[in-house]
Structure 1
């Protein structure tokens, strides 16, 4: 799988520890995360993606639930990653290549599906601050799909009082990539056309 797609779908900050949080604390914080997810219909943000070697690329994120997301890279990275509700598509305009994967084959489903039960696939992680919530998401029966650790930080203006700070993707080969979000906005109008893309292999839109 391409390293950019792996970073997006499969990627803790210094605040995150490896031990699970105490049961009573976990219940309340997980409730906040679940409610946050249910409250988000759309989201826009700028993202910065950093690989294990410290190399960074950035771009614009659009999210429309259920099932739609667009990662548009800027600068010299001629890539676009789009989910249309059924599949994730990676378009590499530099080499005119298109690759597709089922959304369900990734922990990204936790972000795209408002009906996803995070209590089933998510494990709350301990943090060094009450203003930070971290949830590790994986499917134990499908380790090849990798792991995503989502981090939320306290924000009174965000749904349920917390905003999505970013995530860390870890693939089955332990390749780690960090994605950080900035200028996050929730429940703004996003056209369905925003998830269209130009097929470099032929003319027209898909």
Structure 2
């Protein structure tokens, strides 16, 4: 059975989002860069919506560099984990796994604190001065995909911004929206939070 890969990490590529892109105001892009560099860790609740309107919920845990975990609700037998080097998609219902280098994922922008986003990101007009949206893609590696991220201005958050979520489209035009809530930043997180059981040997368990 073919492994089902959600659009937020889908390959071979995410296609461009249907937005009008303008030249990036340097102050807005600099604000996003400061926020990303100020976040060493984050936890949040997430709601993932696909193009059919199906919603899955769960908990997000992030620790830089390179570590992320999407722990879905108990009824969903999948897990997405970045362990610092690789991004894993694990399907416990069929006992399969898939791996990519983290740098090849559109989520890499969240996980690499040294990355200069001015080379890969463009500001997208939102019509709301309280929000900043960016569209990011590596022009040298379009096969790595695209991601559109939305931030709310918040003086209490790192760098004055709060990540609200992102939108991704895969090559089959499958749209996935991630919305975040209850964001918390820069608390100590153990590396053990990013360990996982091999579904090939532990089918049905996480």
TM-score by length of 2: 0.88
How much has 1:96 moved relative to structure 2? 1.2
What whole-Å deviation, never above 9, does each CA across 1:75-113 have from its counterpart, x for those lacking one?
A: 421111000111101111111111111111122111100
- Runs (4+) of structure 1 exceeding 4 A deviation are 8-11
52-61 or 134-143, which deviates more: 134-143
Corresponding position of 1:83: 82
1:34 aligned to 2:33? yes
Q: Distance in 1 between matches of 2:172 and 2:135?
A: 17
How much has 1:17 moved relative to structure 2? 5.1
TM-score by length of 1: 0.88
Tell me if structure 2 keeps the 8 A contact 1:43–1:187. yes
Q: Distance in 1 between matches of 2:149 and 2:122?
A: 10
Tell me if structure 1 keeps the 8 A contact 2:136–2:147. yes
Q: Distance in 2 between matches of 1:55 and 1:148?
A: 20
- What secondary structure does 1:172 align onto? coil
Tell me if structure 1 keeps the 8 A contact 2:44–2:60. yes
Q: For 1:58-73, what aligned pairs fall within 5 Å after superposition?
A: 58-73=57-72
Unaligned runs of 5+ in 2: none
Corresponding position of 1:53: 52
Q: Distance in 1 between matches of 2:127 and 2:176?
A: 21
Tell me if structure 1 keeps the 8 A contact 2:72–2:79. yes
Q: Distance in 2 between matches of 1:28 and 1:56?
A: 35
Unaligned runs of 5+ in 1: none
- What secondary structure does 1:19 align onto? coil
Q: For 1:1-206, what aligned pairs fall within 5 Å after superposition?
A: 2-4=4-6, 6-8=7-9, 18-21=20-23, 26-202=25-201
Tell me if structure 2 keeps the 8 A contact 1:109–1:116. no
How much has 1:18 moved relative to structure 2? 1.7
Tell me if structure 2 keeps the 8 A contact 1:145–1:171. no
Higher share in helix:
1
